Structure 1
Amino acid sequence: MSRRGTPHQPSQGSQLGTAAPFYPRLGDLARDTSRGGEIGVVVALPGEGRNTYHLCPPGGGDKWSAPNDGNTLRPVQPQVTHVTPQKRDVTYDARARQGGLPITVHYDDGGTAESLLVLDPSQLELYHYQVGRILAMRDKALGGKL
């Protein structure tokens, strides 16, 4: 699943950015700025006798209301769970004195994004040493067998 070219949440449409209004749908997570940024699940939408959004904490609890224009509600961004290197070649920019390692960023909603881990010379040396330690630990755990 790739994030490029797709909106973060279906209810946002394709206009991501600060000017794009957020109209949450049933089941969306929303951060309510009028409640100190509290996160809730949208359990009812304005309309059909309701003049407000109704939200409740994700694990259950007391429900609350938010204005029907949604102006206090913000989308909840997915959290990064881990990053993995891609099976692509690394780069080195001699002018910037930086190395680049293509990576995939994994999110808790199942989404992924491609990115580049940029390392300066001291970070390159540190990670060279640390990867060597990982390989030594692996060899020890396998009893010296690959």
Structure 2
Amino acid sequence: MEPRLTAWFSEFSYSYSGVVQPPNPHWHPLLAALRDRLNDLYGYKFNSLLANLYRDGHDSVDWHTDAEPALGNSPPIASISFGDTRNFELREITDIKTDEDLTYCKRIRVPLTHGSLLLMTGATQHDWQHRVPKEYHDRSARVNLTFRLMHNSS
């Protein structure tokens, strides 16, 4: 259902865009070490990871915010990229509600290179949508690890 491959690591399930990721508490030691290092460096308590494999430039994720209730208010998200460079785009959310009206809003493009870390904190999920668009030239594979803090929603 998704235009990329995903894997979920958490004691919690996660639902977004009609996709349900069941709990998977079995972290690979390297992923757990990255999580622990991020928590130590930035003072977060990341307990979940959505791993994305973008196989080539045709894999993507469309405009969205990470505003699911299980993430809480103003969720921090740490995104680490490995592999080929892909553009990460943000567009400002305005009072206008249709995608057509968002054509002329403020936009930011960030090339995420191998080994880069992007932190989305504060009001990012309230004020901005983000995506990784399709690209129509040769791109090799890219793995993106997005660490999140999930809250028990029961």
Which range, TM-score by smaller chain?
under 0.3
Q: TM-score when scaled to structure 1?
A: 0.24
Q: Which has the larger radius of gyration?
A: 1
Bigger relative contact order (CA 8 A; separation at least 6): 2
